Amino acid sequence: MRCETVRDLLPDYIDQRYADRPGSAEQHAAVSAHLEDCPECTAQFVQLNRWQQLAGNWKDEPVPDWHRPGLQVRQPARTHWLSFASMATAAAALLLVLFQVHFRVDDQGLHVAFGSDQASAQLQRQMDEFQLEQTAYLDARLLDLEQQNRGLLVAFFQSQQQQRQQDMGQLVNYWQSQRIYDQTLDQAKFGLLADKQQQSQRQLRQLLNTRYPETSTEEQL
Amino acid sequence: MTGTGMLASASDETLIRKALRGSERAWLKLVRKYERRLYNYCLRMTSKREDALDLMQEIFLCVYRNLPNYHGDGVFPAWLFRIAGNKVVDFYRKRARDPVNQASEWQDDWQSQHATRSDEQAVGDNRLITRLLECLPPEQRLVVELKFFQQFTFEEIAGQMEISANTAKSRLYAALGKLREHEDLSHAM
Ligand SMILES: [Zn+2]
């Protein structure tokens, strides 16, 4: 057996847990035989053994009193619930926007008016694009909210050395400022969405005009 | 069987699942189950009680934050010690930037707190072990810890440290060589 192979096997050789593995008896004998003739490998073996023993001699020290980071575990569930409420509001508002789009489109009679397959397909594509945009926005919002939850948790943990009362105060403040920020952000985003909707309608109208150039604006609206 | 009894014998996986659902009791159970092992690991890694406690705290916070990423494949200790290893590396990086903290207060610290203990021999071994480990660079110190004190296989160590099993083995031998040199030197003096 080569020294390299023996060095490979030595850590297992000194470990009783490997004694029952199939083929280990033969391996054990081969390593033992090599050790009798090889002082270098024997030195490694002695040192491995010494550390195995030293590790066994370590006397575990008791853990000093410490503030276990457990009391906050319940918090994420609670904040999650609150976040979920605001998320649901955002989602409901979005649905409303989507719904409005459909209504307006229906009012203009576009769905029934478009007999041509080509024009319908084009319209459908534009509608799909619009919907994709909104889905992406919703996904981004969900991610944001998850990040915020994390941020909230980190902020909470970092202040754990202080009194819990103070912690709760900070948590509430953080949450409230986050909510105000959220609402501002939401308003801005909904404004953007409304703009996009206007744009979409303009596109629809243009589409309509190209398909039915003879139709007057009065008839459409 | 009572609820407490069931929780006492619950597996790591069960405790984690419950903790993720918001059970504080399950989470604390998990922390208590591993804190002694982790604290002593930190003692050997940092050589200072104060640092050990700070480090352990950081590890548990990190574990808590990452708990949703644990996939429950029955290897919680390996996952825990992977996080611990990363935190140890962070710890050394921080200490390297702070020269004041590099001076070892280990021996005084150790002696003063244990002078009245009856198990002098055991304390002697703890001191010897930590003093010797101090001569190793962090990555070798970690391999020695994981192999001899945590009894992980080379494959597990390799997975935790994101190195090959062969690299883990050669790091262990390099560490053992250095430890022997260090010991010979201190005997000669
Ligand atoms: Zn040899």
Q: Each residue of A14-41: pLDDT tens digit?
A: 877 666 777 788 888 999 999 999 999 9
Cβ distance of A73 and B61 shorter than 8 Å: no
Which of the two residues, A187 and B182, has the higher pLDDT score?
B182
Domain boundaries, chain B: 10-188
Q: A84 to chain B: which residues are within 8 Å by CB? A: none
Mutate which: B61, B119, B144, B151, vs A, most A CBs within 10 A = B61
- What count of other Cβ atoms lies within 10 Å of the Cβ of residue A108? 16
Q: What is the mean pLDDT of residues B107-132?
A: 66
Cβ distance of B169 and A62 shorter than 8 Å: no
Centroid of ligand 1 to alpha carbon of B7 (angstroms): 50
Fold for the domain defined by B10-188 = Rna Polymerase Sigma Factor; Chain: A (1.10.1740)
Residues in chain A: 221
What is the average pLDDT value for chain A, to the nearest integer?
70
Does B154 contact A at CB distance below 8 Å?
yes
Return the top range by mean pLDDT from A113-127, B6-20, B40-54: B40-54
Tell me: pLDDT of B154 over 60. yes
What is the model's pLDDT at position B104?
54
CA A116, distance to chain mean position in Å, is 44
Q: What are phi and psi of B10, to 5 degrees?
A: -65, 145
Q: What are phi and psi of A163, to 5 degrees?
A: -65, 150
Q: Is B3:B12 a contact under the CB 8 Å cutoff? A: no
Task: Name every residue whose Cβ is closer than 8 Å to that of residue A198 and which is 6 or more positions away in sequence.
Answer: none
Tell me: pLDDT of A115 over 50. no
Does A60 contact B at CB distance below 8 Å?
yes
Q: What confidence category does residue B13 fall into, taking pLDDT thresholds of 50, 70 and 90? A: very high
Tokens 């996904």, located at residue = A139
Cβ distance of B180 and A52 shorter than 8 Å: no
What is the model's pLDDT at position B170?
94
Q: Is B65:B11 a contact under the CB 8 Å cutoff? A: no
Cβ distance of B36 and A150 shorter than 8 Å: no
Cβ distance of A63 and B123 shorter than 8 Å: no
Tell me: pLDDT of B103 over 60. no
Q: What is the mean pLDDT of residues B152-171?
A: 94
Element (DSSP H or E) covering residue A141? helix A117-158
Does B93 contact A at CB distance below 8 Å?
no
Does B68 contact A at CB distance below 8 Å?
no
State what percent of residues in chain B have pLDDT above 70: 81
Q: What confidence category does residue B156 fall into, taking pLDDT thresholds of 50, 70 and 90? A: very high
